[in-house]
Structure formats: C-alpha cells, structure tokens
Structure 1
Amino acid sequence: MIRYFADDNILNANEFIRFANQVWPGDYDEEKTEAALKRTINITARDGETLVGCLRILTDGCFFGTITELLVLPAYRKQGIGSRLLQMTREHTPTMLYFGAQPGLEPFYEKNGCERSLQSYLIKKR
C-alpha cells in the first residue's frame, strides 16, 4: 500500500540519490543533495519503506515557488502516484508555483489541472 507524506522529514540524501538515479541518473553530490533537501518541501510516496515517488517544492514562502522535480520509479508509473503528489502539492504549497515540464509530459500536467503559463528559460552557471 502506498503511503504519502506531505513534508517527509526522514528523506535523506543517500536515499534520495539512490531513488533519483533510478529515474533521472546524474552525478549527485551527497552533501549538496542533503543541503538541497533541507531547503525544499519534500512530498513523497512510499511503498513500505521504499521511496517510490517524490515531488520537491522550492519557495520563498510569500510570492514565488517552483517544483524542482517530480519523480516516480518506472515500475510504479501509471498508478496515480504522480497525480496524487501534484494534488498534495496544491494542498501544501504556500505560494503559486511555476515549473517547467519535460517535452511530451504536458498532457499529464494538464490532465492534473495545471495551466500552461510562461515560457521557461535557462541561465547556466559559469
């Protein structure tokens, strides 16, 4: 049975990195990941003790927020987990949220009540 947590305080860098590498492989630094997790609202889905879905909100708490990522393990997709995480986001965000979507996932977000908004841009760190 999948359980959902609105601000998962037990989520740590080691667990998140193992999880994220199954969905979006990358070169995650454990120290930086731990610092990042402490700065975000972490909404999670767990199957027993296993992290199967995670949505992170970064916000100033007053005016602006963004979804940094919405990840669901491949074996758990198409079960409503991503939709439930988005629903919980509406219930627990202190601000309006702007975010980018991977190309091709727009129908998922629109099905879940998200509205198309501003075009996104990227500024790379030098």
Structure 2
Amino acid sequence: MSITFNNNNDISREQLERLYNDVKWYAYTQDLEVLHQSISRSLEVISAWNGKELVGLIRVVGDGLTIIYIQDILVLNEYQNQGIATQLIQQILEKYKNVRQKVLLTEEAPDVRHFYEKNNFVSCDKGSLVAFAQFS
C-alpha cells in the first residue's frame, strides 16, 4: 500500500460521501452540495489517497496567519491506525507552524484524546484556557 497526499480540494461528491459515511459523520452527507462547497472553500485541504481511492482528509479553516481551525480530520476505518491521520496533521502543523492559535473541537474519547495529545495539542480542560461553542 502506497499512500500519497494531495493538496487539491477538488474532490468528488461521491468520494467525500464514501469517506464521511464510513466514519459515520452522517450530518455532513445529508447535503452533499454543502459538504462539497465546504471542502472547496476551506483554507487548506490535504487528502490521502491509495491509488484513486480517497482514504483520508484534513480540512482547515481560518486566516492562516493568526489562527487556523482544524475542522475535519478523518480516515476510512480500514486505513485507521496506520499513521495516516498523524501524517495529515503533521503536514498542517508544519505548514502553519508560525500561526499562534491552532484550534479544534472533537468528541471526548480516550483514543481521540490520546491522538491529539500525541500530536502536541492540549485539552482546554487541562490548561488556563476556556473554550465555548454554540451549536445550532
């Protein structure tokens, strides 16, 4: 298996639907046009491919100068635990290493917490910061 990475955000709706549904992010695939537009309008998208198969993706929004927000990072289930997500996040962190604020929101789970802590993220519940969110 040879995984390649691509910085092109022109990914087909079908490939996106397969990836997001595989990881059970169904809220995104309820409106494929909105998902497709959100990918194309992102500050940065790096995708992981096995040949012509989309196997992973990281998506960043923000200004790229003072803040980036990692909106999505996902890998097909059959490709998880092979270092693909780590490579995706490391590419983003390297590209935006001079950006002061690198933010993300995610679900609470031991494996999720371990992944982000392994990649030098600190949970706001363990520091001097507070995080707020409003969900519609």
Query: TM-score normalized by structure 2?
Result: 0.80
Task: Report the CA distance between 1:119 and its aligned residue.
Answer: 4.1
Moved more, 78-87 or 105-114: 105-114
Partners of 1:15 and 1:119 in 2: CA distance:
36
Question: Which residue pairs with 1:62 in the alignment?
Answer: 65
The alpha-carbon distance between structure 1 residues 14 and 121, as it changes in their structure 2 partners (threshold 3 A), is: farther
**Contact preservation (8 Å) 2:9, 2:46:** no
Identity of aligned residues (%): 27
1:12–1:37: 8 Å Cα contact kept in structure 2?
no
Local SS of the residue matching 1:66: strand
Look up the equivalent residue of 2:105 and give its one-letter code: G
C-alpha distance in structure 2 between counterparts of 1:87 and 1:113, whole Å: 10
Aligned partner of 1:113 in structure 2 is: 120
Match of 2:41 in 1: 39
- Matches of 2:9 and 2:25 in 1, distance apart? 23
Matched position secondary structure for 2:26:
coil
Give the drift of 1:46.
Answer: 0.6
Residues 89 and 53 from structure 1, CA distance in 2 versus in 1: closer, same or farther, beyond 3 angstroms? same
- Residues 16, 106 of structure 1: CA spacing in aligned structure 2 closer, same or farther, 3 A cutoff? same
Aligned pairs, how many?
Answer: 124
Offset, 1:111: 1.1
1:36-115 correspondence runs (5 A)? 36-40=38-42, 41-93=44-96, 95=99, 96-104=101-109, 105-115=112-122
Stretches of structure 2 lacking an aligned partner (at least 5 in a row)? none
Q: Find the aligned partners of 2:108 and 2:85 in 1 and give their Cα distance.
A: 16
| Higher helix proportion | 2
Rounded to whole Å, the distance in 2 between the matches of 1:59 and 1:12 is: 23
- Could you tell me whether the CA contact under 8 Å between 2:9 and 2:39 is conserved in 1? no
Deviation at 1:8, TM superposition (A): 2.1
Gaps of 5+ in 1: none
Q: What TM-score, normalized to structure 1?
A: 0.85
